[in-house]
Structure 1
Amino acid sequence: MKLTVVGGGSTYTPELVDGFARLRDTLPVEELVLMDPAQDRLDLVGGLARRIFARQGHPGRITTTSDLDRAVEGADAVLLQLRVGGQAAREQDETWPLECGCVGQETTGAGGLAKALRTVPVVLDIADRVRRTNPHAWIIDFTNPVGIVTRALLRAGHRAVGLCNVAIGLQRKFAGLLGVEPPDVHLDHVGLNHLTWETGVRLGGPEGEDVLPKLLTDHGDTIAADLRLPRPLFDRLGVVPSYYLRYYYAHDEVVRELGAKPSRAAEVAAMERELLTMYADPSLDEKPALLAKRGGAYYSEAAVDLAAALLGGGGTPYQVVNTYNRGTLPFLPDDAVIEVQAAVGPQGATPLPVPSVDPLYAGLMANVTTYEDLALEAALHGGRARVFRALLAHPLIGQYEYAETLTDRLIAHNREHLAWA
């Protein structure tokens, strides 16, 4: 089995490699290819990756290359974890929206749109090259904004599934609070990427006992503190929103906080420099503890499970993924990309039935789906008018004066990545 990671020079990659090494019985990788145009980073990450495999006795081969066509040729699955423009572009995404009083964040709002515009054309080019060399390969997208990128891939006819680590992180958190093993916790997870709610927490599987009410009663303060939302909100909602809902439920508070401290991008850039220094140490043969602060917790386990299921080798039968709606949520179009529990196998991901969704959540999902439609059109076809329409449609923006100003700033800060600008 050959797997390729595009963006293999990311400081995330040792987390992924560690998962491949630990879970080799679930996903027996024979060749792991790390592809990245940044050869200096790739050399450091590739060296550590080989040492991790050696330390854990993994027999597979790790190769590195900056040649995309060579990397994806014959691959059974291709994982996408790229960042067009690097941390410098992320720094901008998190900064200029704040100047207009809007959330500055790399996956939602104006910053998320900027990232989508930079990313979608690049990802589609990669996917086309994968299809030319191996039309049966699966593409697993971890590149944000996952919902928009996955929709672009599916709309172009690629065999693609989107992956996010929010659900697996909450599964692990809830399992710890309940004193059970993570596989025993099944989430009724519903929404769009980075716009999700846990409407049930079941023990043993989709038909198991729902212990969410007890979880909120016994551990609501802990959960609320972790997600930085007030406990009374959880009591009123009766569900657990993902931490990305804080950008919607506490928008003005978040804007004040973000404006009063260094950007997350600046923190991550400093962390990456330290990690790369560690990776250069030839005695390091395991992922360093600092990597846990970088983000992407449990990404490796989710990726292994998904790849194993898609390639027919195992994995858990039900997984939270991003895939076509296909009537699962009747208030959204069939070709909307939703993030829900799905049965995953060699034929792809089939969403499990979802009970009726509270209009409070359904309305916001429908609004953001409309924004994602317009964002994808802007990413595919360009033009100032399309960017403006997407920004005006986003519930975190919505005012024409904001949308006008943000459109100009988005284009000015991203001109080098926009072929039409």
Structure 2
Amino acid sequence: MNAVLIAVVVMLLLSLVRVNVVLALVMGAIAGGLTGGLSFDETIKSFSSGLGEGANIALSYALLGGFAVAISQTGIPQLLVNGMLKIVKKDGQADRTALGKVLVVLILLAMAMFSQNLIPIHIAFIPLLVPPILHVLNMLKIDRRLIASVLTFGLTVPYMILPYGFGFLFHEILATQMELAGLTINMSDIPKAMVIPVIGLVIGLIIAIFISYRKPREYEDRKIELSEEVVEIKTRNLVFTVIALIGTLAVQIPTQSMIAGAVTGIFILYVTGALKWKEADNLINDGMKMMAFVGFVMIAANGFAAVLKETGHVILLVEHTSEMLGDNKALAALLMLIVGLIVTMGIGSSFATIPIIASIFVPLSIEFGFSTMAIIALVGTAAALGDAGSPASDSTLGPTAGLDADGQHNHIWDSCVPTFIHFSIPLLVFGWIGVMLLG
């Protein structure tokens, strides 16, 4: 049996029966390592050596969490929550339900998309913005699986097609790794190649909104422990917050460092007086606590990926697949996308998946005679597949962190399964269509 398949299946099955995702990743890695011919000691050493690769990501998320908490102290999230409440409530009663639902979906979709490019704080905004509006969601009887789908869409689509913020990093990694694999491309071609695959995600979102989760769903209106501190909203602080966001983006793009960007944003808020220096320690601590679980999952996912690389079975999986293909380009594209789905579902990161699959898929695609644009669509889609739906992906962990604040949203069944159905499957289909149309 292929070690990659065994590892991913074990991890997914354990996650589905509600074993903690970190433990599921560790146990999946052990199963994959042993299946791949590694001894138990070799598996543990390989897993441990891979943990360091996730340290940069974990620290980035911790600082982004601190930055998000800092932004919350300027009153922007409070303004958004108050605006929602004014529209969906009147004299203490819920009314204008349809308008309220549209507003909630649009605001959360916009925030999720901005968090990838315009306001690069990634998923750090979710635990701050979503828990305070759970009462509004309950009042409107909105299915939280719909909100999870909306947030995951917003976290995924921008980096796939827009070359800014996290999208710039994704596109640059894609171009660099494809060049190392023997195919030089222009980064400007990536958005064009990813248009058709992204259409699949748009269709999935439409289905989720208007078909799958359009019916009301009842939730208990449980009390959530939120900070009762009322933030004084000052115009000058809002202006400085915008400056801090611009500074964060300006530093992050050229340095390609989320850490540098987050530190810059926090520093600007302190220097301008939007935040007090004496609040720095508590601020960073709160941010780290908020993002701790996501950080641990990403660290474990890197250990998981290291074991899969060590077994060499990723290459074997592709080689065995190619042997079955003959000269069938359509089947070759489909099976390579499925391999990408399996790898990304296990690792949980489309960014980390690119180096693994590009070195294999690029020469294989060239051999089959695919065009440069088709290969870009193939590798880009294969890397993104599974990002929506993976238990270890921040695109599902983020929504869960906010929606489960009152214990009524399960990570696997309410975030991972819905997003896999509505995004991973359409992305697979439209990614394949895109590759075939681009030739």
Shorter-chain TM-score bucket reads: under 0.3
Max Rg structure: 2
Which structure ranks higher in relative contact order (CA pairs < 8 Å, sequence separation ≥ 6)? 2
Q: Which has the higher strand share?
A: 1
Q: Structure 2 length as normaliser, TM-score? A: 0.26
